[in-house]
Amino acid sequence: MVLKRYVEEETGQKFDLIIVGGGITGAAVAYIAAARGLSVALFEKKDYGGATSAATSKLIHGGLRYLANGELKLVRESLRERRILGNIAPNFVYPLPFVMPNYKKWKGNIWKMLLGMYLYDMLSYDKKDTWDKGKKLENHRLISHRKTVRLEPNLKMEDLRNAFYFFDYQSIFPERLTLAFIKSAAEYGAKVSNYTPVEGFIFENGNKIKGVKVRDVFSGEAKNIHADLVVNCGGTWADKILNLAAQKDTASHKVKRSEGIHIITKKIAGNHVVSLQKKDGGHLMIMPWRDHSLIGTTDKEFYGDPDDYRVSKDSINEILNAVNENYGRKISADEIVHAYGGLRPLVDDQTKGTYETSRKYEVYDNSVDGIEGMITVEGGKYTTSRGLAREVLKLVSAKLARTLSDPVSDNLYLSGCEIRDMKQYMIRQHLNYKDFSRNTVEYVSRNYGTESKIVFQIARDDPRYAEVVSHDGEILAEIVYAIKYESARTLKDIMLRRTGTGTLGKPGNDIIAKITAIAAEMLGWDKKRTEEEVTSLKGVYELL
């Protein structure tokens, strides 16, 4: 399907539901609401999945560390949603082994950790109930010192005793997984639009919200969109949206924000996550991703304006120091190929440090704040977004006084993910596309799923677009597909969220030039706009 920007073809339709925010939470709410029979419009001020949803550790996990806080309900929900995401998005979500080394001077109780591992297995009692039998997860096991060293020779060896070996899931491309939710919503009739900020609200009878005022960033055109109910899925920006609705200049409600930074280096560990406990009790993970090591994350409160947030050298140095203090293989700043970060919204009534703070969520009826016609979602994490959306729909149903059709989001594949057996699917893909390299078939087939046939056909129709532009086989046909079918409107959309051409650090100038030339031609950019796009992209790789 072609993902269109509704703001460009708005018809005056009144909706049941308007969703503000196109990150994973807003995308999941839009999908579930549309699938259950509601007319839905979603507006995102920048690009889909471009903020917090793009700043993850690329894991779909149960939240093992939340057990320490006794949050069994959250862990069980996370484990259930982990399994469901593995089922409905099989080309994006894969089992991933973890190695957690234990040291003699470990800050914690080994028996407590062992009990936690057994509890983690018990709470994930349905983890083998997978549609694709190759996605079943094993129970944890305690491996000996000898096996630990053989598996991960770069560990710090002093006082090493043994290690826990267990499984969670990895999401190979969270931005495209978020987009799959957006596309799924659109397939059920939702109207979606990126680069369409909400700049005000439409009120009726005083303070009852009956719609939003939006603006198309590219045309500058402003439009009024009416609906019976608005859901604020602004995440890090939720308080700003609330204040806009309350028509106040000063913040009466504030979202607690946690900064998370990741760095990417050449591969320094094996094909598993190395989970290390730091001296302060926090954890550091070294994760495999695209033949590199993804290392993170920081977790500290952020007090500034989220619109001004940038990755800083100080935050990157924090991770470098953590690696060099806790891992045997030392790294330097010169080995970093890319760094990225973002802000996580946390429930604001919690007073613990952001690492200890729960990743639970809250769904608020803003009528208690004197704002009728709006619901606000706060907190949460990527893994539980689909489950969170189901909770939102319970309140939506009550507010609209409507009985909704049965939920389907846990038993239907997401758009482009209709693959029952990934192993067999990949065998067929390699047989069908022998005119492409093995790397290209692997990359395109997994990241585009059943839609990969369109990408391959673009390359076959015009050999120029079969050119490989990354070490793992990405091709220029993906650029064409992003613009024509996926509503990509900027160079950053194309290179950071639709394709991975810019996610492993700054590509060579020749690659940027080739991709920019295609985008400029297809989107009608003049010389000034083209230069602005290149400057904006290169700014991603500059640190404060």
Q: Identify the CATH number of the domain in which residue 77 sits.
A: 3.30.9.10
Both 273 and 296 in a single domain?
yes
76 & 148 share domain: yes
Check residue 248 and give its pLDDT. 72
Q: pLDDT tier at 351 (50, 70, 90 boundaries)?
A: very low
211 and 83 share a domain?
Answer: no
Q: CATH no. for residue 479? A: 1.10.8.870
Domain, as residue range, for 228: 6-52+175-255+359-400
Q: Are residues 32 and 80 in the same domain?
A: no
Residue closest to 173 by CA, chosen among 260, 94, 65, 81? 94
Q: Is residue 187 part of a domain?
A: yes
261 with 202, same domain: the answer is no
pLDDT at 176: 98
Q: What whole-number distance in Å separates Cα of residue 428 and Cα of residue 251?
A: 55
Phi, psi of 528 (to 5 degrees): -65, -45
- Regarding whether 376 and 341 lie in a shared domain, the answer is no
416 inside domain = no
Do 224 and 325 lie in a common domain?
no
Q: Is 333 in the same domain as 193? A: no
Residue at 162 is within a domain: yes
Residue 417 lies in a domain: no
278-285 contacts: CB < 8 A, separation 24 or more?
A: 278/322, 278/325, 278/326, 279/107, 279/325, 279/326, 281/107, 281/108, 282/355, 283/65, 284/319, 284/322, 284/323, 284/326, 284/327, 285/57
Q: What is the CATH number of the domain that holds 383?
A: 3.50.50.60
Residues 462 and 332 both lie in one domain: no
* pLDDT tens, residue by residue, 14-53: 999 999 999 999 999 999 999 999 999 999 999 999 999 9
Number of domains in the chain: 3
Asked if 15 and 39 count as a contact pair (C-beta separation under 8 A), the reply is yes
Output the pLDDT for position 106: 60
Q: Within 7-165, where are the H helices? A: 24-35, 72-88, 110-123, 145-151
- For range 349-353, the mean pLDDT: 44
CA atoms of 44 and 491, how far apart (whole Å): 17
- Pairwise CA distance, residues 392 & 21, whole Å: 14
What digits encode the pLDDT tens for the residues 276-297? Answer: 988 777 889 999 999 999 999 8
C-alpha dihedral, 454 to 194 to 411 to 378, nearest 10°: 150
Task: Check whether residue 94 and residue 166 sit in a common domain.
Answer: yes
Q: In the beta sheet, which residues pair with residue 503?
A: 505
Any domain includes 414: no
What stretch of H or E contains 377? strand 374-379
Do 167 and 102 sit in the same domain of this protein?
Answer: yes
**Whole-prediction pTM:** 0.95
pLDDT digits (tens, 9 = 90+) for 202-261: 999 878 999 999 999 999 999 999 999 999 999 999 989 998 998 876 556 678 888 999
Contacts 24+ apart (CB under 8 A), 452-458: 454/481, 454/485, 455/481
Q: In whole angstroms, how far apart are CA 497 and each of 73, 381, 397?
A: 32, 19, 33
Pairing of strands 59-60, 160-171: antiparallel
Place of tokens 């993910």: 417
How far apart CA 28 and CA 177 sit, in angstroms, is: 11
Pair 441, 498 in one domain? yes
